[in-house]
Amino acid sequence: MRIVAFVGASGSGKSYRSMWVARENNIEYIIDDGLLIKSNRIVAGRSAKKEKTRLASVRRALFIDKEHALEVRKAIEREKPSSILILGTSLGMVEAIVKALGLPEISKIIHIEDVADAEEIEKAKTMRRVEGKHVIPVPTFEIKKDFSGYLIDPLRIFRKRGKDGESIVADKSVVRPTFSYLGDYTISNQVIYSICAHEVSNISYVTRIHKMWLENRQTGLIIHLSLAFKYGIPLMGAARVVQAKVRDAVEKYTAINVLAVNILIRTLDI
């Protein structure tokens, strides 16, 4: 198995460029911040960016937890990759990951300065320092459940590759973890109610909101709406429209994972 190290300071843009570096070196698998990733899909592991403190994040990224390391080792044995790109803030960090996962010695080292100029690196550091943004090299739908309630933005990158002009399309996610120095944040239930009420009020056949209530789950939110509809419309189809509009709005404005929107049509108004 060929092991390639991709080294750069924290916030310098390693995760952002990891897909490019992997493809340029014919590597299908990436280890980044506690995750084993294959072609935009999480194969195993838990993201260090999900930890509540910076220290816990570092421990997760280094696979210090034995159960975490065992899970990823088993996945590597099962997948049998011919090569893996391992991201780290230093060569020592990559070597520690190699040791924790029982991988072969590093055969090649790539530095962030090899693939990005000083201006690009400084821009990435500013985004990390000022906005607390972190990139995870997988699509948002892959991490949405685990990062429910975090600030999540999808990121799609297009780039021409080499002389043949082949296009590279990479789906990534931008999150602001709890351990960001910008601090934690909470979203009041009243905010959710306001978003729901606003969306429902713009639907012509919903005449009243009788009641709204929420169920907070570890992986997301269940929204219950008791409504009055106009008489004479196809109720099932109309209710599905309300479900979709409410779900999309809450997820868009809060990044909270909406598990379900339950509609109770309590009355019909003539």
The stretch 160-173 carries a mean pLDDT of 57
Give the per-residue pLDDT at 220.
77
Same-domain pairing of 124 and 212: no
CATH of the domain at 201: 3.30.70.1350
Return d(Cα 83, Cα 104) in angstroms, integer: 10
State the Cα–Cα distance between residues 116 and 159, nearest whole angstrom. 14
How much is the pLDDT for 100?
A: 94
Q: What is the pLDDT averaged over residues 102-107?
A: 94
Round to whole Å and give the CA distance between 125 and 11: 5
Kindly report which listed range (113-122, 147-156, 187-196) carries the lowest average pLDDT score.
147-156
Statement to judge: residues 21 and 112 lie in one domain: yes
Residue 92 within a domain = yes
Q: How many domains does the chain have?
A: 2
**Alpha-carbon dihedral 193, 189, 149, 123, rounded to 10 degrees:** 80
Higher pLDDT: 154 or 203? It is: 203
**Same domain? 25 vs 118:** yes
pLDDT computed for residue 120 by the predictor: 84
Is residue 195 in a domain? Answer: yes
pLDDT at 159: 55
The answer to which of 71-80, 156-165, 196-205 has the lowest mean pLDDT is: 156-165
Instruction: Give the model's pLDDT for residue 146.
Output: 66
69-86 b/e with 16+ CB inside 10 Å = b? bebbbebbeeeebebbbb
Predicted confidence at residue 125, as pLDDT, reads 83
Specify the pLDDT at position 101.
94
- Does residue 195 contact residue 201 with C-beta atoms inside 8 Å? no
Mean confidence (pLDDT) of the chain: 83
Lookup result for tokens 């985004």: 127
**Separation of alpha carbons 96 and 62, rounded Å:** 7
Residues 6+ apart with CB under 8 A from 186: none
The answer to the question of residue 237 being in a domain is yes
Read off the pLDDT of residues 124-144 as tens digits, 9 standing for 90 and up: 887 777 666 777 777 666 666
Q: Are residues 124 and 194 in the same domain?
A: no
Give the mean model confidence (pLDDT) for residues 181-199: 78
Q: Are residues 106 and 198 in the same domain?
A: no
Structural domain span for residue 86: 2-130
Residue-wise pLDDT tens digits, 211-241 = 999 988 766 789 999 999 999 999 999 999 9
> What digits encode the pLDDT tens for the residues 30-48?
999 899 998 878 899 988 8
Predicted confidence at residue 139, as pLDDT, reads 64
